[in-house]
Structure 1
Amino acid sequence: MLIAVGGIATTVIGQQQRYEHAWQAGQLTLTRIEQLLTSAQRTGIQVAGLVGQPCQRVLPALRNAATQAAFVYTLKLVQQQRVYCSSLRADVNEPIPSAFAHNDTTRSLILQPGNASRPYYPLLSILTATSEGAVISTIDSAHLATLLSLNLPTTLIWLQVGEFWLDSSGQLHDESPPQAQDAQIYHASATYPLGLSLYYTTSFTTWLGWANQWRLTWLLWLAFSLSCAIALWRWLGQTSPLEAALEQGVERKEFIPYVQPVICAHNRQLCGLEVLMRWQRQHVGLVEPMQFIPQAEASGLIVPMTRQMMTQVVAQLAPMASRLPTPFHLAVNISAAHFRSNTLLSDCREFLSYFPSGKVQLTLELTEREWLCNNPQTLTLLHELRSMGIYLALDDFGTGHSSLAYLKQFPVDIIKLDQMFVRKIGVEDVSQHVVNHVIDLGHKLGLDIVAEGVENEFQADYLTRRGVDQLQGYLFGKPQPLQEWLTELWPLVSKHYPWCRPGQGDLATVGGDEQFQPPA
């Protein structure tokens, strides 16, 4: 009897806990979606003053606003119930969705099946009315689907806007979700005309088959809890296999420097190198950086690994210092772990001491894999590094969430255009617009700009004309061991690279942006 009563009580408590967890998951998802919409609406308000002006005149500002808004897919300007300007397609002339046309409120929201160019990607559009017309801010359903999928494994969340529903895979439905789970919770937004239907499992049989094993449950729970406690204790007390391998790699000096040339854009001559870490693991061979760098940063081992790599750079490069161009740029990747080690300043000072004064321009490239805290200690260290003539660069600018925050908070000297955008130049309009806006931003802030991932001469020519300072990519050389690079490419240090011949195509200005015209 006591076991049965205890089982019933445990079941009731478990159901209540699952309800609370499901309710909290739904509320958190709703809050995130509301924040996303508020951000999109704020962008619409910022460009409201463009409504009524000719599209070609306001198109650069409209595209700039769309690029800087993290989750906005496109911005559209509306007059007389018609869209006449789009951040993606420039001049257009199309009617606004009927749901907007019959809604006279100052803020409307619709979920659309998609458009002509992306018919299988639903869009969430929010309309902001102005005195001259309106602005429509559109959000890609992929962002919404990501938010809907961040919940408990036994929970199903669908977004409802009007008569349409969006599931966690990004699919649009014209009817409510099937009730595959046991219970439902509905969250209605108090800010926007939308809601979330949340379905979750209450049956306790999904846990241990309680109904068929009343008498064994307590023993099973006790054994399971004890096993988990022992496993957790062992796990906390042990080093992960990868971390142990990294420690062994440091002892064996398996981390070696690879380099990739950096080229001055205006004359196509070598002006520096980016130093890249590689792991030449015993009995395994060369290990890809993404397989070990995140763990190295999380464990702090990246600090001795970087120090070991730079010791090899000094040994191989310092004897040839007199033959290097002046200043010779050397870029090294760092992360938040280096700032926590308290040795970054002394390591940089020691590295520069092996070269004649002014010979090497050391640049520290900050990645975003770990958040760098904006505190007095960090700022003091960055200013001390700058006083030594060391530059700070933001690597892969535009791909992470903290790029603009770092730009505002820290004394940045260089931004590096990510190869994801550079490789799309001349191929995809959106990426080309991003490149243009980042370059314009860098020029306005007085920053140097380095473009990564340059693979063909058109890209190099385009970036040079747009005012990029330095170029880097497979067009000029793939990453290779430093010693190998010194042996094979040293005769080319003071010459043009023979495969870099600008002028293989021409650039024409169309609608304020340069477009590629291939040679005849």
Structure 2
Amino acid sequence: MPFSTLSSRGRAWRLSSSLGVALLPLLLGLPLMYWQAATLLQGRAEKSATDARQQLDAMLDDAARSAREVIGLSGQPCEDVEQTLRSQVAISPFSRSANLVHDGVIYCTSLIGAYDNEEDADTYVQGTLRLMAGNSVTPDRAVLVYRQATAGHGVLIGIDGQHLINLLRLNGQEVALQIAVGENWITASGAVTSANNGAITEYAFETASSGYPFQVLASYPQGATLQYMQAHYQPQWLLFVILGALAGAGTYRLSLRSASPGTELKRALEAGEFVPYYQPVVDAQHGCWHGVETLMRWQHPTEGLVSPDQFIPLAERFDLIVPMTRQLMRRVREDFAGRLEQLPAGFHLSINVTAAHCQDLHLVDECREFLEAFPVGHIVLVLELTERQMITSTAVTDQLFAKLRDLGVRIAIDDFGTGHSSLAYLREFRVDFLKIDRSFISMIDSHALSRHLLDNILDLAMRLQLALVAEGVESLEQRRYLSQRGVRYLQGYLFALPMPAEALFTALQVAPDHEPRA
């Protein structure tokens, strides 16, 4: 990581006549450093557990909403309601399956339709939640089941264990997290056990949901405080003591230098270290390049090429994502403005934007300036709305998107189906493309039943008459499957890796009319 604490630049001079004085600040500082490290670790444990609990509460709130939508169907014939169940699952960002229960029997599921299995209501904590290591459909994949029942009717909503794993990993990057539902526990590895994993630890913090019967536990291994001090506080102070019969003076120097993430990102922005990489988007029908998605990379002077996962969230946190994207658009314009002869008319250039770009109308001016560098109609600019931050509909955003559409800018929803805001975007904004997240594409190579969720998403897009772009296509089987189901545009390692501009135009020059290979 480029965000690292710099090492010490000196060591204390040893003077035998002042040894006691030289050791005094260190002896006083060690308890203070220990207290600071302990306070910081305790705070991180509490925040990580609280954030994870709030996110799981949100998942279960969505499951409860889905259950309320379909519980009225309980008791009706499965063939009459199974499509409704699948549609409900398709529009839910977290639900893997919806199952109807009548008189204690699970008789209909969104995955396979008609079903016949007794419901074991006693296994649900407070009659509401059950954490399972797997089920008959996916025996090696954890699932969290939310239950809602009334007067002989019931609904079971399955939440894929991968969502729990992602939640624990995202919030537990610095502290180990576990989720407990009754006597069952799940860790970031995805393993479900009947007991708390791990020995007694430091700074254990447990927080329970007020709305659902689960708890989240955060903890550090034994010795974490000393390990943290060794990694971050050594040496915290360097003491120079100069004693002498004539001088009798001491000098202290603090040498620990820190480079904060915000400072490092600002330095990199000023140095122009954020560079565009391009990944082709292929027309599935003709095999030619339809356009490219622009991906931001950090060309760090010492760390090399840094992936966006390591710096994009920090850039958003420090309000730097807008100037970084503005600089990236200039780089993209410079890359393509002099190469128009290599591009077919209507070539699509996609650039990611976040909620921060939609706070005012400056984005319109930036897009206008970008498009003025090209002949009219030669380049189609596509803005991909990311879901890390929610874009809410306001008078400003309505005016913004109207002006963008007047400029001919197209709108796409990136990673559709993986965030909270996908359906809200469809309702509030006119969009042109849905980009299916790679996690759904990977289901094509798994068990056939796992494809139902992807098929529901494809069906939703077709009904809304939206163009589809499938991300993360890595195999010929995935390509055939998507092409047969009407997905027009494909993107992934099967066709090409993300590449800098020179490599991109070399590939276009070699094979402009058919798909280049990575």
TM-score under structure 1 length normalisation: 0.67
CA separation in 2, counterparts of 1:32 and 1:46? 21
Partner of 1:64: 87
Aligned with 1:269 (options 288, 296, 304):
288
Aligned-residue CA RMSD in angstroms? 4.7
For residues 410-441 of structure 1, give each alpha carbon's deviation from its aligned partner in whole angstroms, at most 9, with x where no partner exists. 23221101112112213244652232222222
Partner of 1:136: 156
Aligned with 2:358 (options 339, 360, 376):
339
1:355 CA displacement? 1.2
1:455 CA displacement? 1.4
Q: Is contact 2:413-2:422 (8 Å) kept? A: yes
CA separation in 2, counterparts of 1:308 and 1:428? 44
Partner of 1:397: 416
For residues 53-96 of structure 1, give each alpha carbon's deviation from its aligned partner in whole angstroms, at most 9, with x where no partner exists. 55455433322323433444432223453323223344432222
Partner of 1:243: 265
Aligned with 1:360 (options 358, 374, 379):
379
CA separation in 1, counterparts of 2:481 and 2:206? 54
CA separation in 1, counterparts of 2:91 and 2:131? 24
Q: Is contact 1:321-1:356 (8 Å) kept? A: no
CA separation in 1, counterparts of 2:364 and 2:128? 52
Partner of 1:490: 509
For residues 146-180 of structure 1, give each alpha carbon's deviation from its aligned partner in whole angstroms, at most 9, with x where no partner exists. 69x999x99x999676xx576888866599xx999
CA separation in 2, counterparts of 1:329 and 1:411? 18
For residues 308-361 of structure 1, give each alpha carbon's deviation from its aligned partner in whole angstroms, at most 9, with x where no partner exists. 333333333223324522211111112233334753211211111121111111
1:396 CA displacement? 1.0
Partner of 2:105: 82
1:391 CA displacement? 0.9
1:307 CA displacement? 3.4
Partner of 2:229: none
Match of 2:128, SS state, is strand
Partner of 1:447: 466
Per the alignment, do residues 481 and 27 of structure 1 end up closer, same or farther by CA in structure 2, a change over 3 Å counting? Answer: closer
CA separation in 1, counterparts of 2:441 and 2:361? 35
TM-score under structure 2 length normalisation: 0.67
Matches within 5 A, 1:8-19: none
**1:310 and 2:323 aligned:** no
Partner of 2:475: 456
Partner of 1:47: 70
CA separation in 1, counterparts of 2:55 and 2:450? 27
1:387 CA displacement? 1.0
Match of 2:340, SS state, is helix
CA separation in 1, counterparts of 2:162 and 2:146? 13
Partner of 1:433: 452
Partner of 2:118: 95
CA separation in 1, counterparts of 2:187 and 2:373? 56
CA separation in 1, counterparts of 2:216 and 2:284? 55
Per the alignment, do residues 235 and 377 of structure 1 end up closer, same or farther by CA in structure 2, a change over 3 Å counting? Answer: farther
CA separation in 1, counterparts of 2:161 and 2:284? 39
Partner of 2:407: 388
Match of 1:423, SS state, is helix
Q: Is contact 2:354-2:389 (8 Å) kept? A: yes
**1:416 and 2:435 aligned:** yes
> Which is bigger in relative contact order (C-alpha 8 A, separation at least 6)?
2
1:365 CA displacement? 0.9
- Flag structure 2 segments of 5+ consecutive residues without an equivalent: 1-47, 220-224, 226-253
- Flag structure 1 segments of 5+ consecutive residues without an equivalent: 1-24, 102-106, 201-206, 208-230, 501-520
1:36 CA displacement? 5.7
CA separation in 1, counterparts of 2:65 and 2:262? 45
Aligned with 1:476 (options 485, 495, 501):
495
Aligned with 1:370 (options 366, 389, 392):
389
For residues 367-391 of structure 1, give each alpha carbon's deviation from its aligned partner in whole angstroms, at most 9, with x where no partner exists. 1233334322222111111111101
Bigger mean CA deviation after superposition, 359-368 or 286-295 = 286-295
Q: Is contact 2:89-2:95 (8 Å) kept? A: yes
For residues 263-298 of structure 1, give each alpha carbon's deviation from its aligned partner in whole angstroms, at most 9, with x where no partner exists. 122222222111222222334432222222223333
Amino acid paired to 2:305? L
CA separation in 1, counterparts of 2:216 and 2:313? 37
